[in-house]
Structure 1
Amino acid sequence: MMLQRFLVRKNERALLLRDGDFVAVLNPGTYLRAGLRPRFSACTYPLTEALFEHPLAEYLRQYEPAVVAEHFDVFDLGDNEAGLRFENDTLVEIVPPGSRRMYWKAAMPQRFERIDLTQDWTVPADLLARIAQPALRGKAIVGLGAVLNVLVPDGQVGVLRVNGQRVTLLQPGRYAYWRFNRDVAVDLVDTRLQAMEITGQEILTRDKVSLRINLAANWLFDDVELAFSRLPKPLEHVYRELQFGLRAAVGTRTLDELLENKQVIDDVVGQHVATRLAGFGVRVASLGVKDIVLPGEMKALLAQVVEAEKAAQANVIRRREETGATRSLLNTAKVMEDNPTALRLKELETLERLAERIDRISVFGGLDQLLNGLVKLKV
C-alpha cells in the first residue's frame, strides 16, 4: 500500500485529480491518499493570481456547478460586452468580449462590471480618470491596450475616425475610446500657423534656362472639419499647389524677367494658391522665394554680362565728366579773354597752387617781380 501526501498552504488552493480526473478542490491543509500505486495528483494555485485556468474548467462548469459556486466567481461576456474586474475596489483588468473566465473567490474581494459596446465607443469619464496615467499606478491594468487613450494638446484638434469614417472633431483635452469590435483612430491636427519649405525645385524658364528655386510659405487651417472632409491629406495638397504655382510663375517667364523683378514669382504663386485652395478649409498666409540658384555656366556668363554693363556705365560716366570739365575750361577762357581782372585772378590762383607744393621760395627783385615775373599768362 502506497501513501500519498499533499500539502496546501493558507495562501493556496489545489485541484485534486485521480488519474487526471477531477476529485475535489482542496482548501488549506494536509491530505493523505492511499493506493497500490500513485494515482493522485494536485494542481496548486497561489491566491495571488485570481484567474483560474485549467483544461477541466469547462467540465467543472457543466458537471460540478456546486463546486464552482462555492469556490469561483464566474464572469462570462457576450460578443458585444466588455468587462471590468476590480480587486479591493481597484481596477485591475479589462476583460475582452466573448470571454469565459473563473476567478478564485478566496483570492481577494472582487467585483465585476459589464460594458455594453453597442451603445457607445466612448470610455466613461469616471473610468477615464482611473486609466489616464497607468504608469503612475501601483498595479498595472491587464488588457489596457483595448482602450485608445488620446491627449489633444492646446493649439491642436483631434479628428476622430471610427472604422475609417470621420465622426467628430475633438477639442483640446483627454479622451478614451473602446477598441473592441471597431477600428478607432484619432489624427492630431495643429491649428496654429505652420511653416512649409519647397526646396530644390528644378524648373526651366521660357528661354530654356534651368533654375533651382527654394520657396518658403506659412499656412494654416481655416476650417479643419471642411479640410478633412474634402482632402485626405491637406498638408500634401498645399505642398502640391505651391509646386504647381511655382512652375507656372517660372516656366512662363524668361531669365531676364525673373532677375529684373523677383517679386513677380511671389505674386503669381500667391494668386495661384489663393484660387486653388479656396473652399478647402486651408489657407496660405504668406510666401516668398528664398533662393534662385543658377547653373555654373550660366553664373559665369551672367557675371561677364554684369561686368560688361558696369564697365560701359563707368565709361559713359567718365566721358560725361570729361566733357563737362572741357566745357568749364572753355567758358573760363572766354571770360578771361574779355576781362583782364579775371585773367589776373587766374594768375594769382595758379601762383597759390604752386606755393602749396613748394617748401621754400627765394625771391629776387621784390614782391612785384614775384607777382609779375614768376607767373605770367600770355594772351
Structure 2
Amino acid sequence: MLKRFVIKKNERGVLLRDGDYQRILNAGRHYFFDPLGSLAVQTWKLDAPMTDVALVDYLVQTDPDTAAECFESMELSEDEAGLRYENDVLVEVMAPGFRRVFWKGLTRQRLERVALNDGYVLPAELTARILQPSLRGRPVAGLVGVLLVQVPAYHLGVLRVDGKIERLLKPGAEAFWRFNRDVQVELVDTRLQSMEVSGQEILTRDKVSLRLNLAATWRYTDVLLAFEKLAKPADHLYRELQFGLREAVGTRTLDELLENKQVIDEFVGNYVVRKLDGFGIEVGSIGVKDIVLPGEMKTILAKVVEAEKAAESNVIRRREETAATRSLLNTAKVMEDNPTALRLKELETLERVAERIDRISVFGGLDQVLNGLVTIKGA
C-alpha cells in the first residue's frame, strides 16, 4: 500500500513507524510503501520552537550531523541570561537555565549571552530597545525578568539589591536584571510635600474629648540618610506628628486651647524638629486645621457664650442709661439758668410733636400754639 505525505514549505516533518522515529522529511511530497499501515508523519512549523526536545536529544546522541543540520539549540547556564534575536530583531529575553530548540531554514536565530555575575544593570542601548515594548512592531517576550524603572523629574529612585541600598537613581530610564537577585526601586519626591493627620481623638487635661485635624509640610534633605535610618520615612514622620499632637493637647485644658490655638502649632513644630534631627527630613509649616468638640460640649459652650454676651449687653445698657441720665441732668441745669435755651428746647419738642401729627387746626394765632401747647414755668 502506497502512502503519500505532503510537507509544506514552512514546515518540517518526522516520519514515524509505530510511533518511533525513522527520519526527517523536508518540504515536498513523499511516497512510502506501507502495507501494514504503521507509518505516520508529524509536522512542525519552522517559525515556532521545536517542542519535542527529547527527539532532538536523541538525534544529538545518535545522528549529530542531522541534528546540527536541522536544529539551532539555545541553552543557558544558571548564571546566564539570553537575548534571542530573529533576523537580528530582539524578540525574547531568556531566563537562566532556559533551553530552546528551533528549526533551521526559515528564520535566522541568534543568541546573545549575558553573564549575570558581571552586573545587574542593562546597557543604555538595550534599555532603550525594551523601554516601550508596546510600540515595537513585534513585542519582546520574557520581560518579566527585567525591571524597567522611569524616574520622573524632581524625583529620585532608591535602588535596593537583595535588601541593601546601593545608590540613588537620577531622573531618567534604567533597567536591571531581576534574575538571581531581588531588585527593587522606590521613587521619592524631593519637592515640598504635604501631610495631614486627621481624625485624632485626644483628651485634654480637664478630660474633654477633642477631635483635631493637623496639616504639615515637609521634604527630604538627604534621601540616602533618611532611608538608611528609617524603613519608611513618611510613616515615621506621621507617627511623630501624632505623638506631638497628643502631648500638646493632653497637657492643656480646653480653655487654654481655645484661647490660643497657636500654642499647639508651636509645640508640635518644636517637638517634631527635635525628634527628626539627623534623619534627613525637614519639616516646614505645621498648623491645626480645625478642632471639633463633642455635641454636648458644643451646647454647654454655646450657653456659656450666650450668658457672657447677655451680661456684657446688660452692662453696656446700664452704662448708656447712666450716661443719658447724666446728660439730661446737665441739660436741665443749663435750662434753669438760661431761658433762651429752655425756649429752644420747647421749640424742638414742638417740632417732634408736629412730625407725628397729620393735620393741626390753629385757633388764636401762632402765640396760642406756642403758649397753649407748651407752658413755660413762670411765664
Amino acid of the structure 2 residue aligned with 1:285: G
Measured against aligned partners, the alpha-carbon deviations of 1:135-188 in whole angstroms (never above 9, x if no partner) come to 112222221211111111122221111111111111111111111111111111
Which structure 2 residues correspond to residues 1-379 of structure 1 after superposition, within 5 A?
A: 2-34=1-33, 37-51=36-50, 53-378=52-377
**Structure 1: runs of 5 or more not aligned:** none
Long gaps (5+) in structure 2: none
1: CA distance, partners of 2:92 / 2:15 = 28
C-alpha distance in 2 between matches for 1:99 and 1:374: 124
Kindly provide the CA deviation profile for residues 67-91 of structure 1, in whole angstroms up to 9, marking residues without a partner as x. Answer: 1221222322222111111111101
Using the TM superposition, name which of 173-182 and 20-29 deviates more: 20-29
Give the counterpart letter for 2:78 in structure 1.
Answer: D
SS at match of 2:33: strand
Query: Aligned letter for 2:262?
Result: Q
- In structure 1, what is the Cα distance between the partners aligned to 2:25 and 2:89? 28
Offset of residue 356 of structure 1: 2.6
CA contact (8 A) 2:71 2:102 kept: yes
Task: Identify if the C-alpha distance between structure 1 residues 42 and 341 changes in structure 2 by more than 3 Å, giving closer, same or farther.
Answer: same
Distance in 2 separating the partners of 1:139 and 1:276: 54
**Offset at residue 52 of structure 1 (A):** 5.2
CA contact (8 A) 1:223 1:282 kept: yes
User: Residue 42 of structure 1: CA displacement?
Assistant: 2.9
**2: distance between equivalents of 1:32 and 1:73?**
28
Which deviates more, 26-35 or 311-320?
26-35
More divergent stretch after superposition (344-353 vs 291-300): 344-353
Tell me, yes or no, if the aligned pair for 1:201 and 1:214 is still in contact at 8 Å.
yes
Percent of aligned pairs with the same amino acid: 63
Q: 1:20, CA displacement in angstroms?
A: 4.5
* Regions of 4+ moved over 6 Å: none
2:195 and 2:217 in contact (8 A); partners too: yes
* TM-superposed deviation, 1:58: 2.0
Residues of 2 paired with 1:112 and 1:195: CA distance? 50
**TM value normalised by structure 1:** 0.93
Deviates more, 1:215-224 or 1:31-40: 31-40
Q: Secondary structure at the match of 1:317?
A: helix
Cα contact 2:204–2:251 (8 A) shared by 1:
yes
Aligned counterparts of 2:118 and 2:230: Cα–Cα separation in 1: 30
* CA apart distance, 1:31: 2.8
Which string of whole-angstrom CA distances, capped at 9 and with x for unpartnered residues, describes residues 188-238 of structure 1? 122222222211111001100001111222222222222111111111111
Give the TM-score of the pair, scaled to structure 2: 0.93
In 2 relative to 1, CA 365–100 (structure 1 residues): closer, same or farther, beyond 3 Å?
closer
- SS, match of residue 118 in structure 1: helix
Verify the 8 A CA contact 1:81 1:116 in the aligned structure 2: yes
C-alpha RMSD over aligned residues: 2.0
2:338, 2:142 → 1: CA distance?
Answer: 116
The range that moved more, 125-134 or 217-226, is 217-226
Give deviations 1:85-132, integer Å, cap 9, x for gaps: 111110112121123332222131222211111111111112112111
Q: CA deviation at 1:51?
A: 4.2
Number of residue equivalences: 378
